[in-house]
Structure 1
């Protein structure tokens, strides 16, 4: 596969030279490849957050080599992999980071275990020494099988599916992700509201732990005054709790993994 684009996601941040080193490796091996920096602000070692962001972004990317590195297991026996899915090949650690993105691309169809390591002597920077070289080689036209032995795609690591229960008059869902604005996206969408018979309601009750409130179900943040909470379907199609010009996560004390009930 020859790709004009490499899409790049990490938890490296921008305070150090880690992202630049990986860009440099790509430029040396595949100088004509263009890099889309998806984000480098995934919370440190938060594989789940990275997996959500990658899966949500992938449908809007051009056909790409997707280089994703959120890797708390660097230096261990966890595998490095390249996974073909739809128009993309995803490269990174086999720790669940890539699986939801592969699903978003139509499902993994082929995978290999990465064998090559750059001869730097380091064992703590696989983004630079394993994953970026593999992504660059693919972008330069190297065939997937040349990167390493084929893997059974059924053995690729998956993160646990987020908790969701839909019943008459209620949707109970895990907080799937919190974005930088403090919007709290649930592992539920408009179809789940409809299945529970809650679609079309002007207001719904949201509760989590000891907190409970009746909120408007609105099409946008600005449908309520500044500082007020609202329930909406966000840009990824998820049911979300938000505060207009504020942080729902901070004001409601919610974080990923918490369970929220939406009811009439």
Structure 2
């Protein structure tokens, strides 16, 4: 197998402790040429859906390689540890859905990580990111065949997160909050293409309904399309519709957590 010297890491470990450095160290010790890219380590603790969304939206811009995601509230339990091969990429992490939005293809192969010879010894019951996922990823990056990391399993049996709700009909697009970024911008499952379908145009107003409350919101190309302090709907870098406040925090103003239902129509 051709070495995949790029290893990416996405976790909820934070930056206050040595968890991330330990994973880096394990990878570098096993595969010294590895180029390690940190996607983020600031996923909210245990937020598998946020991790899945960030991974899926980031992977298209990453080099081919091994992509490790460790959002793992079930660490140490009977949940499986897996590697999923998709083309020239291998995804490594817990089988809890965190890989499912990125590892999507009809021709995927999946393997349960059962070759303990690739793990660190001893294995901590609470730090599989260091002791299982990082070393396995490093061995694959160094050229080990993914088919040798453990038993092949049916990809249909992998845990998959349900896709975010999304529906477009006539003059209305409905969806849910997918993520909220550190700026308080609220990303929706509705896409820019969906708004094109209902006839929305930049510079026009939209009616955004959140629960029982509706707001008139400008549809702009960027934050500066509205004065500071005002709400704007825009299509973000991932092609999703998002709500923002110019120089403010839309999530706080609107009280919108991930999963909240949102309906968008052209204002009349």
Class of the TM-score when normalised by the shorter of the 2 chains: over 0.9
Q: Give yes or no for contact 1:190–1:199 (8 Å, CA) kept in 2.
A: no
**1:149 partner SS:** strand
How far did residue 16 of structure 1 move?
0.8
- The answer to which of 192-201 and 153-162 deviates more is 192-201
Cα distance between partner residues in 2 of 1:216 and 1:234: 15
Q: Give yes or no for contact 1:173–1:260 (8 Å, CA) kept in 2.
A: yes
* CA-based RMSD: 1.3
Tell me what 1:223 maps to. 225
How far did residue 109 of structure 1 move?
1.4
Tell me what 2:257 maps to. 255
Q: Give yes or no for contact 1:9–1:37 (8 Å, CA) kept in 2.
A: yes
Tell me what 2:125 maps to. 123
Tell me what 2:205 maps to. 203
Cα distance between partner residues in 1 of 2:226 and 2:202: 18
Instruction: Structure 2: state its 5+ residue gaps.
Output: none
Tell me what 2:108 maps to. 109
**1:53 partner SS:** helix
How far did residue 45 of structure 1 move?
0.5
Tell me what 2:178 maps to. 176
Cα distance between partner residues in 1 of 2:251 and 2:15: 25
Tell me what 2:17 maps to. 16
Q: Give yes or no for contact 1:170–1:198 (8 Å, CA) kept in 2.
A: no
Tell me what 1:56 maps to. 57
Tell me what 2:238 maps to. 236
Cα pair distance change 1:113/1:41, threshold 3 Å = same
Query: What number of residue pairs does the alignment pair up?
Result: 262
How far did residue 107 of structure 1 move?
5.1
**1:101 partner SS:** coil
Cα pair distance change 1:229/1:200, threshold 3 Å = closer
Q: How does 1:35-50 map to 2 (within 5 A)?
A: 35-50=36-51
TM-score, length basis structure 2 = 0.94
How far did residue 196 of structure 1 move?
2.9
How far did residue 44 of structure 1 move?
0.4
How far did residue 5 of structure 1 move?
0.7
How far did residue 70 of structure 1 move?
0.4
Instruction: Structure 1: state its 5+ residue gaps.
Output: none
